[in-house]
Structure 1
Amino acid sequence: MDTVTVSNANLLDYLNDPSPRTLGRSPLEWLDRLNKPTVVHVAGRDRSRTRAMATLLHGNEPSGLFALHRWLLEQHTPEVNMLFLLGGVYPAKIPPAFSSRQLPEGRDLNRCFKEPFEGEEGAIAKAMLAELRKAQPECLLDVHNTSGTGPAFAVSITNDAAHQALTSLYTDRLIMTDLRLGALMEYSEQEVPTVTIECGGAQDDHAHQLAYEGLVRYASRSDVLSLEKAEWNVAVLRNPIRVELAPEATIEYRLEPSGHADLTFPPDIEHRNFGIVSPDEPLGWIGKKGLGILTAISHNRTENMEQVLRVKDGQIYPAQAIKAFMITTNPVIAKSDCLFYAVKATGEPIF
């Protein structure tokens, strides 16, 4: 029998073993019934162990919620106890549903999982971390959609057998980074294997299907932390450079520059995701302010722009052969988060 309680901090709602009647017929109907960030507990065959999964930390990344709703409707009994954390309920509910990454004046929830836990998002993040400490899970997944279309990949701050095994439940690409941004995946530092899963584009049916299939594997297997049981061999890309746009800079996505923007990318720039771009292939056009509107930040916070991009005749080219990912055509995300990440074509860091 499912129960609903409210945390004493009044920040989170709780669902225990929810029934189909509670969930509604569709993810949208379920979202409409959710009033707050929500914690879902599902009892497993082995009550001595727990696995955790967070999703919807960004309100416009619905694949994890779609997968969870489908999985809960099917009334699976997981191998171990499952703890699900639904963080970005408030932005997800802004009409049209699943269109807002965060509240209009709010912070990115997935940058708030560190002190001082400021504002409403900080309080939600702190409450979610308290739930994890209480549950003591053996591992944690954080399921997202990529900010653009493109293949699935995983991100972690640790590269070992357990993290590669978790990655292999969903994909064969793992990005390992030493950069700390206050993301939930940094829970790895609590000695709990933690991986962020980027399922693909928020509008892509294959991303929703991947999120579901990965959840089924995650919840149904007795062991998800052994590499010998991995789905695939995992390719590891280490310490990507993070290319960011200055807050005051402007960006357009056009087939040719209008002359009004500081940076112009072609509308199909997302097709570059995880492909190798050679030094003689232009990425886009730069305005009169030049590369000064961009920063290329490595994991140790050093600036490495001359190793990443160069300008010739008003066009931007890679300074060396690179593999880029997390490229987006959403100008809001390009400005508020980052333009893209990049490593050498070999997968090694750019120094």
Structure 2
Amino acid sequence: MSRSNALDYLNNPSPQTLGRSPLEWLSRLQRPTVVRVAGRDPSRTRAMATLLHGNEPSGLFAIHRWLLEQHTPEVNLLFLLGGVHPAKIPPVLSLRQVPGGRDLNRCFKEPFEGEEGAIAQAMLAELQTANPECLLDVHNTSGTGPAFAVTITNDAAHQALASLFTDRLIMTDLRLGALMEYSEQEVPTVTIECGGAQDDLAHQLAYEGLVRYASQSDVLSLEKADWNVAVLRNPIRVELAPDATIEYRLTPSGQADLTFPPDIERRNFGIVSPDEPIGWVGQKGLDVLTAISHNRTENMEQVLQIRDGRIYPAQAIKTFMITTNPVIAKSDCLFYAVKATGDPIF
């Protein structure tokens, strides 16, 4: 194992190096790690990042399983394991980021400040050196729900990459400093949200998608002429004010600014009509929420409305990335929404 300032390196690791389980492998990793695997065609490279959030393990599990099986990929593979530090903090795989630290997947833009900025900058340098033909960033959703992909570019190559894992693709013009924005370097880049972090089906989906990604000679063309990737465009991002409180209860306690029912995650990728309540607000009303579009304009009146203290959609909407984790609901976002047709909400 060699070292750079921010990263460790593994080249064609043996089963002995990897340990018997992903958790044993994680325990051996000391820093964010680059894994290189030589392919049949050494002139091409594909990249895959994962564990950018320390509580999203499906990509780690998939890579460990795939490496243990000692496959020879079609082309060189470059794996980037980002959030090793938060992932290792007991209880393992429970923290999105180091306490007091920054969200690594918001650090892939200047200025590259702090430890997370240094890691992001080093990962970008590895990508620039490797010059991959495409890049995947594999995550778990913050709540339960079906898998989907996210991209900032909707074309055939991005749809083909998404289709290795899912038939749902979110296209957004919102820029947050995420690794997905590497697509702007003319490298097809897709984020894969595999499903819930505790969901065995999500781990299996990540593995099967990786097998396809590694073994196919062409991953940038849709193989099936009839493959129908459903594209949802420019979702609204609904955020909770930093000082607001949220509870998940069947009925409001009267103590919180926002109350969602405990089964709110069932709304993920479902259509919610204007006569279906999704929760309750406290005395501050909708002032504790913001609805940010891709162009940073406020669109709350197009998304949510209040009647008798209950929250209703202002129009039929499709929601996703809903979570019942109050920490993520406050630090990241409550949910994303598009029109029921998949079109943007203006």
- With normalisation by structure 1, the TM-score equals 0.98
Distance 1:79 1:161 in 2: 21
Residues 1:30 and 2:43 aligned together: no
Percentage of pairs with the same residue = 87
Runs of 4+ that moved beyond 3 A? 228-232
Could you say which residue in structure 2 is the equivalent of 1:82? 77
Whether 2:222 is the aligned partner of 1:217: answer no
Give the residue type in structure 1 aligned to 2:2: T
> 1:5 is matched with which residue?
2
Candidates 166, 175, 198, aligned match of 1:203: 198
Whether 1:347 and 2:342 are equivalent positions in the alignment is yes
Residues 262-292 of structure 1, C-alpha deviation per residue, up to 9 Å, x if partnerless? Answer: 0000000000000000000000000000000
Q: 2:89 aligns with which of 86, 94, 117?
A: 94
* Alignment-mate amino acid for residue 142 of structure 1: D
- Matched with 1:179 is 174
2:15 aligned with 1:20? yes
Q: Is 2:123 the partner of 1:128?
A: yes
Displacement of 1:230 after TM fit? 7.3
Q: What is the rounded CA distance, in whole Å, between the counterparts of 2:227 and 2:246 in structure 1? A: 38
Does the 8 A contact of 1:168 with 1:231 survive in 2?
A: no
- In 1, the alpha carbon distance for the partners of 2:236 and 2:292 equals 6
RMSD of the alignment, in Å?
Answer: 0.8
Alignment counterpart, residue 280 of structure 2, candidates 282, 285, 301 = 285
**Compared with structure 1, are the counterparts of its residues 347 and 205 closer, same or farther at alpha carbon in structure 2 (3 Å cutoff)?**
same
Give 3-state SS (helix, strand or coil) of 1:106's partner. Answer: coil
> After superposition, where does 1:142-161 map in structure 2 within 5 Å?
142-161=137-156
Q: Distance in 1 between matches of 2:261 and 2:167?
A: 28
Native 8 Å contact 1:250 1:261 kept in 2: yes
Aligned length: 346
**Structure 1 residues 80 and 107: CA distance shift in structure 2, 3 A:** same
Report what 1:111 is aligned to: 106
Deviations 1:290-342 (A, max 9, x none): 00000000000000000000000000000000000000000000000000000
- Given the two structures, how large is their TM-score scaled by the length of structure 2? 0.99
* Residues in 2 aligned to 1:14 and 1:51: alpha-carbon distance in whole angstroms: 17
1:227 alignment partner, SS class: coil
State the shift of 1:227 in Å.
2.0
* Structure-2 separation of matches of 1:260 and 1:119: 37
Deviation of the 1:147 alpha carbon: 0.2
CA distance in 2, matches of 1:233, 1:24: 40
